[in-house]
Amino acid sequence: MPRAMTSRSQLRCSLLVLLALCAACTGLHRPRTALDAVRQHSPAVEWNAASLIEADLDQDGRADSVLTGLGTDRVVVGIVRGPVAAGTPVSTLEFSLNSGGEDALCSRDVKITLEPLGDEAKTRTGRAGMGINLHDDKCDAFHIFWNPEKKKFEWWRL
């Protein structure tokens, strides 16, 4: 004949069920694509799925993903260091629109392309890396690259 559960046993069972539900729920929020990852990182940005490009930007031997997005008064570049999984690092760089500053673009109509980095960016393996060219065809382009010393993405422009 089964014994009645004590309140301590009921509490343990309730906690186990709650933990199991929490574990299941966290699986629902894992990014499956680079677009999912940038949307989770910056949900207020309107991300452009068609802008997606992939390349090994941080020279770790794995493909990274880059997308552009639009905020209210800015263009955002989202970089997902691959492969995409729970906890995948996401970096964003923001560029204002029409503000006239050094970090400003002249138009919302932006494009990103891959570009080879110069000789100064060769890795310890001796191969040159890839960077990102962000341009709107109205003002000078931005050149985005991985800085291995600072372990982050940075940019420069003429």
Note the pLDDT tens digit of each residue in 27-67: 446 789 999 999 999 999 999 999 999 999 998 999 999 99
* Cβ neighbours of residue 119 closer than 8 Å, sequence gap 6 or more: 128
On average, the pLDDT of the chain sits at: 85
Domain range list for the chain: 34-156
Positive or negative, the CA dihedral 98, 81, 155, 139 is negative
Match 């390349």 to its residue by tokens. 55
| 67-124 pLDDT tens trace | 999 998 999 999 999 999 888 999 999 999 988 889 899 999 999 999 998 876 665 4
144 by Cβ neighbours in 10 Å (0-12 / 13-18 / 19+) ranks as buried
Give pTM, 2 decimals.
0.78
CA 30 from chain centre, in angstroms, equals 14
